[in-house]
Amino acid sequence: MSTPRLLYADGQGNILDHPGLGMAGSAGGRWEPVEESQCIPLPPGSELFLLPGRLPVGVGENGNFEVLDRDPANGAANVSAVAAFLAPAHTATLWSAYQSKPDAPILPLFAYAAVGLARERMVATAIRVDPLPRQDPDKFPPPQRIQAAGRRLLRKFAHNRLMQHLGHCAMGYGCPAARNLMLGRWEAPLPTAGACNASCLGCISSQPEGPFPVTQERIGFTPTVEEVVEVAMHHFTTGLDPLVSYGQGCEGEPLTQGDLLEESIRRIRARVPQGTINLNSNGSLPGVVARLMEAGLSSIRVSMNSLIPERHQAYYQPRGWSLDEAVESIKVVKAAGGHASLNLLTMPGVTDRPEEAQAISELVEQTGLDLIQWRNLNIDPEVYLRTLRLGPPTERIGVAELIEGLRRRFPKLKHGYFNPKL
């Protein structure tokens, strides 16, 4: 069995491999040695991060964990841990192993997969969970082509504030879903909600009291039914393999805009009898979900960090609803003949604990869930574990092993990363 070498960053930010220490990973704060067989080549489109105030942890020849506090090249003290923010469609099975210094700053809202060096190339502890190439970097044309397509669309829909907002998302933030709208293919976003009925610890669009800087500006207006329908119909009539989704990173909770969604879905459905109209949601309002199914919604993706009520509560800080409503929303969609996905915000050492695995299986049994999307939870793991009052796991299944176990137990249950076109 071969062990990849530890990667670390020197004081100038250069990423180097350690001559003697092997790669380690972390699962919920528990360090683990890494074998090459647990790794894949670092996926194209992944980003490498240097973790400030964090000392890398590797494995010595004696098998013991060693905290690296000096650069082996020159004895300098300012070394830092390194991690990979994986490209879409990939789920981390271990996160970066490090020891935080007392004054270490909180890490921004990204996921920090373990990365090492094997056979002279970078590898990461990850699995590809979805074969769909929707957000593969080599499937996107050069930025200037996206800009040109975007400008054309913004001229054509100069009167439509929603299209203008999505143009900004595509050309400003590089949002893959908004870029696919500009390019006329696959899943297009329909954000509508400025407000939310939760205060997720890791919300990427609103952090009033939170410790993290937001990574996306929240939509600042409520589009009209006409604006939403126009964007959707443009995509359905001109797009390649099109589907549309309410509930995006640049908005609050779409179910808080129930009337707007119901009327826009009804009008879209009247003109597109077969098209996939999806809702990404926290699942908080099953009554509204029932109305949307009646109006013509095809599918729902409900996001959860955990199926353990107190862990869901601690992360979502829901107002006037709980995990029960989120589960009920899945049941409502299934009862109405729709497709239901769980967007499982995944962290190794938390999601793959036996009690979580048991709760996931119970959810599948109770609801007839169709798909689990294994999305990496973008958050500083130490802040997350503290908030959930969790220490390092004494027992864990492994993320890849958990997925394999669910495949065997529920052969009809699909596993992926993207909303399917039905």
Residues that bind ligand SF4 (CB under 6 A): 196, 198-200, 203, 205-206, 252-253, 282
Please state the closest distance from residue 231 (CB atom) to ligand SF4, in A.
Answer: 20
Q: Distance (Å, rounded) from C-alpha 399 to C-alpha 397?
A: 7
For ligand SF4, give the closer residue by CB, 147 or 199.
Answer: 199
For ligand SF4, give the closer residue by CB, 109 or 114.
Answer: 109
CB-CB contact of 189 with 248 (8 Å):
yes
Residue with tokens 């119909």: 233
Which among 114, 90, 178 has a CA at the least distance from the CA of 375? 90
- For residue 88 the two structure tokens come to 């879409």
Residue type, 235: H
Please state the closest distance from residue 206 (CB atom) to ligand SF4, in A.
Answer: 6
Please state the closest distance from residue 85 (CB atom) to ligand SF4, in A.
Answer: 18
For ligand SF4, give the closer residue by CB, 56 or 191.
Answer: 191
Please state the closest distance from residue 280 (CB atom) to ligand SF4, in A.
Answer: 9
For ligand SF4, give the closer residue by CB, 51 or 204.
Answer: 204
For ligand SF4, give the closer residue by CB, 205 or 346.
Answer: 205
Q: Distance (Å, rounded) from C-alpha 258 to C-alpha 294?
A: 12
CB-CB contact of 303 with 204 (8 Å):
no
For ligand SF4, give the closer residue by CB, 27 or 196.
Answer: 196
Please state the closest distance from residue 345 (CB atom) to ligand SF4, in A.
Answer: 9
CB-CB contact of 173 with 204 (8 Å):
no
User: What phi and psi values does residue 74 have, to the nearest 5 degrees?
Assistant: -145, 5
Q: Is 1 exposed, middle or buried (0-12, 13-18, 19+ CB in 10 A)?
A: exposed
Residue with tokens 């669009």: 205
Residues 6 or more apart in contact with residue 84 via CB below 8 angstroms: 42, 46, 47, 48, 49, 96, 112, 113, 114, 115, 122, 124, 126
Strands across the sheet containing 185-189? 185-189, 240-246, 276-281, 299-304, 339-346, 371-376, 414-416
For ligand SF4, give the closer residue by CB, 153 or 255.
Answer: 255
Please state the closest distance from residue 205 (CB atom) to ligand SF4, in A.
Answer: 6
Please state the closest distance from residue 219 (CB atom) to ligand SF4, in A.
Answer: 11
For ligand SF4, give the closer residue by CB, 96 or 284.
Answer: 284
Residue 87 has, within 13 A of its CA and on its CB side, a CA count of 20
Please state the closest distance from residue 323 (CB atom) to ligand SF4, in A.
Answer: 13
For ligand SF4, give the closer residue by CB, 147 or 207.
Answer: 207
Please state the closest distance from residue 249 (CB atom) to ligand SF4, in A.
Answer: 8
Which among 220, 197, 217 has a CA at the least distance from the CA of 206? 217
- Compute how many other C-beta atoms are within 10 angstroms of the C-beta atom of residue 320: 9
